[in-house]
Amino acid sequence: MLVLKCIFSPVRCPVPYGIFSKYLMFSTSNLSNATTPKPRTEAKEDYRQRRQIAMTQFLLNECGLSEAQVSDLASRRAKMFRTKSTLRAQQAIEFFRDSGFTENQVRKILCSKPVVLSLKVDTQLKPKIEFLKELGFTDSNLGLILSIAPNLLCISLERNLSPRIPILVSLFGSKLNLCKALVSYPRILDYKFENLKHKIDILKQYGIQD
């Protein structure tokens, strides 16, 4: 108050040096606090939150997921929301759409296997889609199969998916029969060979063919 009175008073009033210096130090300290950068922990937390917001907005706006679905994914796959960029996720979604998948099928895949957003299109997704197309599946069939059994997108083509096909063709008699079976029951590709063969043998005992 003394400083303000001295400033605005028409009569010049000397300000004791001790009070003036104390006021000056107080103002300077406030200014330095305002310009001091945030502690490192706060800066890291802000950066983490910005990355979470980027993935959240992508899932809501670009993929059409609901807030409840995004919240569920965040609780199951927290690591996915710590990604530095959504570029790979965008490429995966665009690839599914270009492959003829419907928006509903894409959402089913994401909710069931969100890890597909971290897979590389050229080396991990595209080769599997092309392999399945060579068996005779159409784009619409592929969307249906993979939305029901999205695990097929995550297993190894060389070690798991490719070796199963000749065995399954021998069990079902032809690629055409296998394709028909997979359209109705896509998870056949996940079954253990011994269990599947046992069930087919039982059906054949009852005279059921093809």
CATH number of 54-205: 1.25.70.10, 3.50.30.40, 1.20.1050.90, 3.40.50.300? 1.25.70.10
117-128 burial code (b ≥16 CB/10 A, e <16): bebebeebbeeb
The model's pTM is: 0.68
Spatial contact of 203 and 172, defined as CB atoms under 8 Å apart? no
Confidence class of residue 48 from pLDDT cuts 50, 70 and 90? low
Residues 99 and 92: their CA atoms lie apart, in Å, by 11
pLDDT, one tens digit per residue, over 134-163 is 888 888 889 999 999 898 899 899 988 888
Q: What is the percent of the chain with per-residue pLDDT over 70, rounded to a whole number?
A: 75
Confidence class of residue 25 from pLDDT cuts 50, 70 and 90? very low
Type of residue at 161: L
- Residue 78 clears pLDDT 50, i.e. is over it: yes
Interacting residues of 177 by C-beta distance below 8 A, sequence separation 6+: 210
Residues 37 and 43: their CA atoms lie apart, in Å, by 9
Spatial contact of 150 and 112, defined as CB atoms under 8 Å apart? yes
Domain definitions of the chain by residue range: 1-30, 54-205
- Residue 61 clears pLDDT 60, i.e. is over it: yes
